[in-house]
Structure 1
Amino acid sequence: MIDVLVAGGGPAGLAAAVHSALAGLETVVVEPRTAPVDKACGEGVMPSGVAALRALGVEPTGRELLGIRYVDGAARAEAPFRGDSGLGIRRTALHAALHRRALGLGVRIVSGKAGEVRQTTDSVTAAGLTARWLIAADGLHSAVRRGLGLELPSAAHRRYGLRRHYRVEPWTDFVEVHWSGTGEAYVTPVADDLVGVAVLSRVRRGYDEHLADFPALTASLRGTAATGVRGAGPLRQRVRRRVAGRVLLVGDAAGYVDALTGEGIALGLATAGAAVRCLAAGRAEDYERQWSLLTRRHRLLTGALLTASRRPGTARLIVPLAARMPPVFAAAVRALQ
């Protein structure tokens, strides 16, 4: 019997598969898309995420990130990362590196979807395969999570994300977060001639309409658009629990607050590792608490920023306040790195 079946072959699912293979467990990943997989993503990996990739034996190439900068008109606040740097990397490059590593460790990747999940006291079956455990890493709108009745009703305040790349030389080694009254624009250098710009907002409209709210940023994007627009949302996903019998939820499938603090990839890698460690130790029931501990600071800080940004007048105070209190802003950034 397969030891671990992973539903979803994105970064979190592939990280879970690599952790599982390194632990000596027979692992199969079920994924309907062909590698490498692209997705609407800010494409900035926090230093903890870079360290997690290296621990897996993955060394993807990208653009070094030195910290976080908030921008709102003339107001600016920035904080460098303490110690190791982050990484700006195309989602496709990250996926390809994790995919190669998983295959190199003997992980089997099959095309398909998990479909209906059936469990007994000592096994779980999905996609026609039976395993001792199933790790669900099938994303923001997880079909496994929904099928098991683990979703909670959607939040009243919905936010959405859009991303596009521009062929222009990066003007910064920081992730820049530009604020407006209706949302934020995230600038991430991902190569020497390429930047990604992701827009997050509660307002649903076209990408160019969103970008018009950031005239200073638009003036810096003199290069041509290098990719089309990709979208994601609603971002907020509420989950009853992350362990259901022999199924564990990781990454975005385990619940999501918002992309505002840019930790999605790092948290996906961290929760994938925690889930496999719990399985390898024979204590799957410990994962719920481990997930809560790993994501606590992210949930608290992101929730606070979302509350503050909900009204345009309050949102306009975030960057000026951060600029006036550099130690506080630096502490917040370092708490999340």
Structure 2
Amino acid sequence: MIDLLVAGGGPAGLACAIGAARAGLDVAVLEPRPAPIDKACGEGLMPGAVHALRALGVAAAGRPLRGIRYLDGRHTAEAAFPAATGPGLGVRRTVLHGALAARAAALGIPVLPRPAGPVVQRGDRVTAAGIAARYLAAADGLHSPVRRALGLQAAAPSPARYGLRRHYEVAPWSSCVEVHWGPDAEAYITPVGRELVGVALLTTRRGGFDEQLARFPHLVRRLAAGAPGQVRGAGPMRQSARRRVAGRVLLVGDAAGYVDALTGEGIALALAGAAALVDCVRRDRPEAYEAAWRRASRRHRLLTAALLRARHHPLLAPRIVPAAARWPAAFRRAVGALA
């Protein structure tokens, strides 16, 4: 019987496995898809995520990000990450996943090409895919089958938001992540290579990528010269879990619940949750994980939920960027909190 079995070999799952191996635990990962796996992702890592990856011994190539810029067509607000945190990183999802997978392989962590399947708990063990472990980390994504199977899925507030992402072969024009605010959608522009930017769209409206991007005509013109890549989609973004622990099963990453991609902290939150999970497993205290996860995610949940409420309020939404431009010190503090 191993110490920790991880269901899901994405960034959250591999971070759990790497952290567990570095803590001296016997760990294995269940992931039926070969790495690297691409998915809709803003691809901008906050400085905290960069530091967390470095602590795991993971190095991913990308473009340094010096801050966040908000634009709405008339107003612009920009704030650099604090000098104490250093820059963020724009990195393709496949590059990040490949770097994590390489680190796991270097540590000798088995990644088994099979789904978790039914999860069975008995006494001192939990079994999935025929493998017994003291604990199971469910890192199986936004629409986690393990979360649903264990009855941990909770109803999420509406309206639902959806994400689309495409790359364009154009030279980045900024070293910031740009967030372009429209009436009912945002466009996130992240430099991820010398001649490559990622464009992620978040919206409550259904529709294809080109239809959604057309609401930002200045971006359409700017991206026109670049060859477009494949479109990836995700959603609904908001997912809620009743709790993060069910016996010997612990939810981590998007499976633990997700508010929104508005603040670009998905990877940072996954890495923080993975570290908390490994610590609780190492101490044989699964009951402590719920409180540890809440502490690790509290700032993210509060800040993202507040911004999302403003986004959905018809009077407040048009004032988000003007307010950030009018009170730059407050905007810098918010970006510093994200960093």
Hey, what does 1:321 align to over in structure 2? 323
Hey, what does 1:256 align to over in structure 2? 258
1:204-223 equivalences under 5 Å are: 204-223=206-225
Gaps spanning 5+ residues in structure 1: where?
none
Looking at structure 1, the residues matched to 316 and 4 of structure 2 have their Cα atoms a distance apart, in angstroms, of 47
Hey, what does 2:230 align to over in structure 1? 228
Amino acid at match of 1:73: G
SS at match of 2:154: coil
Hey, what does 1:90 align to over in structure 2? 92
Amino acid at match of 1:270: A
Deviation at 1:131, TM superposition (A): 0.6
Contact 1:136 1:144 in 2 (8 A): yes
Deviation at 1:313, TM superposition (A): 4.5
Amino acid at match of 1:171: W
Query: Which of the numbers 103, 109, 114 marks the counterpart of 2:111?
Result: 109
Looking at structure 2, the residues matched to 223 and 32 of structure 1 have their Cα atoms a distance apart, in angstroms, of 38
Looking at structure 2, the residues matched to 333 and 41 of structure 1 have their Cα atoms a distance apart, in angstroms, of 20
Hey, what does 1:7 align to over in structure 2? 7
Hey, what does 1:71 align to over in structure 2? 71
Contact 1:150 1:239 in 2 (8 A): yes
Aligned positions, number: 337
Deviation at 1:216, TM superposition (A): 1.7
SS at match of 1:113: coil
Q: Are 2:191 and 1:189 aligned?
A: yes
Q: Are 2:287 and 1:291 aligned?
A: no
SS at match of 1:260: coil
Contact 1:76 1:323 in 2 (8 A): yes
Contact 1:115 1:127 in 2 (8 A): yes
Contact 1:132 1:246 in 2 (8 A): yes
Runs of 4+ in 1 over 6 A off after TM superposition: none
Looking at structure 2, the residues matched to 184 and 239 of structure 1 have their Cα atoms a distance apart, in angstroms, of 26
Q: After superposition, what is the alpha-carbon deviation per residue over 1:34-89, rounded to whole angstroms, capped at 9, x for unaligned?
A: 11110100000000000000000011110000000100012001110012100000
Q: Compare 219-228 and 32-41 and name the one that shifted more.
A: 219-228
SS at match of 2:241: coil
Hey, what does 2:48 align to over in structure 1? 48
Q: After superposition, what is the alpha-carbon deviation per residue over 1:230-273, rounded to whole angstroms, capped at 9, x for unaligned?
A: 00000000110001110111000000000000000111111011
Contact 1:168 1:222 in 2 (8 A): no
Looking at structure 1, the residues matched to 215 and 227 of structure 2 have their Cα atoms a distance apart, in angstroms, of 18
Q: After superposition, what is the alpha-carbon deviation per residue over 1:75-132, rounded to whole angstroms, capped at 9, x for unaligned?
A: 0011100121000000000000000100111100001111111001200001111111
Q: Compare 1-10 and 296-305 and name the one that shifted more.
A: 296-305
Amino acid at match of 1:70: Y
Contact 1:180 1:315 in 2 (8 A): no
SS at match of 2:33: coil
Looking at structure 2, the residues matched to 128 and 239 of structure 1 have their Cα atoms a distance apart, in angstroms, of 26
CA RMSD of aligned residues (A): 0.9
Q: Are 2:29 and 1:29 aligned?
A: yes
Looking at structure 2, the residues matched to 292 and 336 of structure 1 have their Cα atoms a distance apart, in angstroms, of 16
Amino acid at match of 1:2: I
Amino acid at match of 2:39: K
